[in-house]
Amino acid sequence: MIGSLVTGSQVTGSLLSGSLMTGSLVTGSSVTGSLVYGPLVTESLVTGYLVTVFSMTRSLVTGSHVTGSLVTGSLVTGSMVMGSLVTGFSVTVSLVTGSQVTGSLVTGSLLPGSMVTGSLVTGFSVTWSLVNGSPVTGYLVTGPR
């Protein structure tokens, strides 16, 4: 283990399962369930709200409330996203700005260095305005902008 695993957080469940983790895994969050299975992760995975993830592989979650499996693609090291989940290229429903979208949105790879600006929606029936550089109290964003 290299780096900070838990900083000021309550953690229950399995966080690491045979993985090499470098960097901060959890900061200021309450985490339940398994977060990492096997892959090498070199980014901060969780910074924000309650995260309940049971089937995530090399995914990036920041400032989000997540229940269930979200991303089954690869996480590109160096992708810095503030208060959002940015996932790559394969979309199963159309991405809507400022509207409500239901359904699964993305299963693919993360875009490195992506910045999210404006109001985006995911397949969790949420419509939150997420602005780059601002505090985020919403859920998550999918798709590079």
> Mean pLDDT throughout 40-61?
34
Task: Report pLDDT digits (tens) over 104-142.
Answer: 233 222 233 333 322 233 332 222 232 333 333 333 333
pLDDT over 90 for what percent of the chain? 0
Strand-pairing partners, residue 65, are none
Look at residues 8, 1, 50 and name the one whose alpha carbon lies nearest to residue 27: 8
| pTM across the whole model | 0.21
> Mean pLDDT throughout 27-56?
37
Tell me, what's the pLDDT at 48?
33
What average pLDDT is seen over the chain?
Answer: 35
Instruction: Count CA within 13 A, CB hemisphere, residue 65.
Output: 8
